[in-house]
Amino acid sequence: MTDQAMAPGTPAEAPRIGVLISGRGSNLQALIDAIARGQLKARIAVVISNRPAAGGLARAEAAGIETLVLDHRAFASRDAFDRAVAMALLERRVSLVCLAGFMRLVGTPLLDAFPNAILNIHPSLLPAFPGVDAQGQALEHGVCFSGATVHLVTRDLDAGPIVRQAVVPVEPGDTVETLSARILVEEHRLYPLAVQTVLDGGWSVTGRRFVPAHQRPGTSR
């Protein structure tokens, strides 16, 4: 296996992240590309898919990243699947987990193994339109703006502290496809930025809020 493409000067001890996918993996690709151009100072230690046919697996392989399929249907319970995922990530010394189109609820074993260290990207301006078909929900409600949100994963679906958001307009005549495509462009820009913010540290969580390093008391902009 070739070594993962990394920008010149990226230290070998760059933080190790694990990416969980279920599908095409375009956000995974955005992370791979951001690392390759030196924007994101990290190394993807493993890409794990719960679906053997996920297109994102080929993207990881093409970048020389280890892949692992853990098919949730092969596990006796949700917790057993979560434990296996957590174990695989811990074995590879991952410090941050990025969900990128991972279509499984994250349960206690995984949350406990990575406290405040699991990120998700969602195609709406949370807390509006959590869950599936966020773009369809936005159209149904007739909102003028939607977007993308990167948040810390907690027990509650799509409800964790918001790390970063991007806004897109909803245009007259939009369909789920056209709105999704417009949001996806922003997702690909947003996710690497949010991952770097979290890796940089210095932030805290206060109640529901993610407080970035520069907004903490005693720090100046």
Distance, CA of 52 to CA of 61 (rounded, Å): 13
Residue nearest to ligand GRF (CB): 101
Using the minimum distance from each CB to ligand GRF, give the nearer residue, 127 or 202.
Answer: 127
The 3-state DSSP class for residue 64 equals coil
Assigned token pair, 157: 């679906």
The 3-state DSSP class for residue 112 equals helix
Q: How far is CA 2 from CA 5, 6, 39, 68, 86, in A?
A: 9, 12, 21, 16, 25
Using the minimum distance from each CB to ligand GRF, give the nearer residue, 66 or 186.
Answer: 186
Is the Cβ–Cβ distance between 64 and 3 less than 8 Å? yes
Distance of CA 203 to the CA centre of its chain: 18
Q: Supply φ then ψ for residue 11, to 5 degrees.
A: -65, 145
We find the least distance from the C-beta atom of residue 30 to ligand GRF, in angstroms, to be 8
Out of 122, 151, 188, 214, the active site residue is 122
We find the least distance from the C-beta atom of residue 206 to ligand GRF, in angstroms, to be 25
We find the least distance from the C-beta atom of residue 123 to ligand GRF, in angstroms, to be 4
Residue 19, beta-bridge partner list? 47, 98
Using the minimum distance from each CB to ligand GRF, give the nearer residue, 69 or 87.
Answer: 69
Using the minimum distance from each CB to ligand GRF, give the nearer residue, 82 or 187.
Answer: 187
Assigned token pair, 5: 């493409």
Assigned token pair, 64: 């020389």
Residue ranges binding ligand GRF (CB under 6 A): 23-27, 56, 100-101, 121-123, 184, 187
Residue 151 annotated in active site: no
We find the least distance from the C-beta atom of residue 39 to ligand GRF, in angstroms, to be 18
We find the least distance from the C-beta atom of residue 13 to ligand GRF, in angstroms, to be 27
Using the minimum distance from each CB to ligand GRF, give the nearer residue, 109 or 147.
Answer: 147
Beta strands in 59-128 (DSSP E): 67-69, 96-99, 118-122
What totals of helices (H) and strands (E) does the chain contain, helices first? 6, 9
- Residues with a catalytic annotation lie at 122
